[in-house]
Amino acid sequence: MKASMRAQAMPVAVVLLTILGGASAPAHAADSALKCSAKTICLWYQEYGEGDLYQWKGGYVDLPAKFRDHVWSFRANRSGAFIDWSGGKKTCRSVSPGDEWNVYREDFGSRIDAVADKC
């Protein structure tokens, strides 16, 4: 009886892991966090902290062309604000120390034009 219950439970576990994408983020996400200096906000060109890295240290900064509308992941080691300038209108998202997104392009990452201390 126990063996048949295990046999039924195994496919359910496989389906759950597939849906949830595994138990943790890829190992390279942890590696990328180590590259992000204290008191900065790190922006990556690819998901999970992969690809080119831009480190923002403070003040208002228009992002380099490569990163405008293309921040696929980030980690905040300080507070700041992400700014989008669409049609002359400012839209802003505040971030706090400890905030991070590994897949940000489907949210505000495809709209960021600048970073600043505050909205």
The answer to whether residue 91 sits within a structural domain is: yes
The answer to whether residue 53 sits within a structural domain is: yes
The answer to whether residue 22 sits within a structural domain is: no
Structure confidence at residue 31 (pLDDT): 59
Split into its structural domains, the chain has a count of: 1
111, 64, 118, 78: CA torsion to nearest 10: 100
The answer to whether residue 12 sits within a structural domain is: no
The answer to whether residue 112 sits within a structural domain is: yes
Structure confidence at residue 106 (pLDDT): 86
The answer to whether residue 1 sits within a structural domain is: no
Output the six-digit token pair for 59.
């003040």
Domain membership of residue 72 as a residue range:
27-116
The answer to whether residue 74 sits within a structural domain is: yes
Structure confidence at residue 93 (pLDDT): 98
Which strands form 73-76's sheet, in the order they lie side by side?
53-56, 41-44, 73-76, 100-101
pLDDT (tens place) for every residue of the chain, 119 residues total: 445 444 444 444 433 333 444 444 444 545 555 689 999 999 999 999 999 999 999 999 999 999 999 999 999 999 999 999 998 899 999 999 999 999 998 899 999 999 999 99
Instruction: Give helix then strand counts, H and E, for the chain.
Output: 2, 8
Q: Which residue has the tokens 């300080």?
A: 78
Residue 102 belongs to a domain with what CATH number? 2.60.20.10
Residue 53 burial (C-beta neighbours within 10 Å; 0-12, 13-18, 19+): middle
The answer to whether residue 70 sits within a structural domain is: yes
